[in-house]
Amino acid sequence: MSTLGTIIAAVVTKETAAARTIGANALTVVNRKLPKREEPVDAAYQVNVTGAEVPDSVTRIAFGSTFKVEYRIEITLIAPNDHDAATNRDEHGDWREAVRADYMKPAPLMAVSAVKRVEIVPGALFDRSKLNEGYDYNQITLAVWTYETRAS
């Protein structure tokens, strides 16, 4: 499995183990290519773990074959809002705080030995374009750095 795949799998495992809720609704955690909820198939309240739209950043370290690689991972809470701008707003804030707290701890992705640093990327509380479509998309982006060696 690729380093990115291993990181995403570790985040999915971590989020599943957290067993978070929004109100009385349990959150299903899924691994996707992009944050999206399929209406008739997916749970109404879910968390998508995806790679970000931003490309990976690869920087050679000195003159060797070791590289610093930055991956961006998105953790997106998707919930129905029934075109109501206030319901569950506080619960979304609580979810966001809990997720951030988990990744602000030392070595939050210990299961992946290549990971050397994890930071939270600033982002908006809700994706406003999705609010008008009847969904609350609340996203947290992680910047994850690894050091990877490639043979010449």
Q: Is the dihedral of CA 37, 136, 91, 105 positive or negative?
A: positive
**Domains of the chain (ranges, CATH numbers):** 3-149 (3.30.2000.30)
Q: Using CA atoms, how far apart are residues 129 and 127, in angstroms rounded to an integer?
A: 6
Q: What is the pTM of this model?
A: 0.90
Residue 99 has a pLDDT of 96
> pLDDT per residue over 62-88, tens digit each?
778 899 999 999 999 988 876 666 767
Lowest mean pLDDT across 14-23, 30-39, 105-114, 123-132: 123-132
Q: Which helix (H) or strand (E) holds 131?
A: helix 128-131
Lowest mean pLDDT across 32-36, 65-69, 99-103, 148-152: 148-152
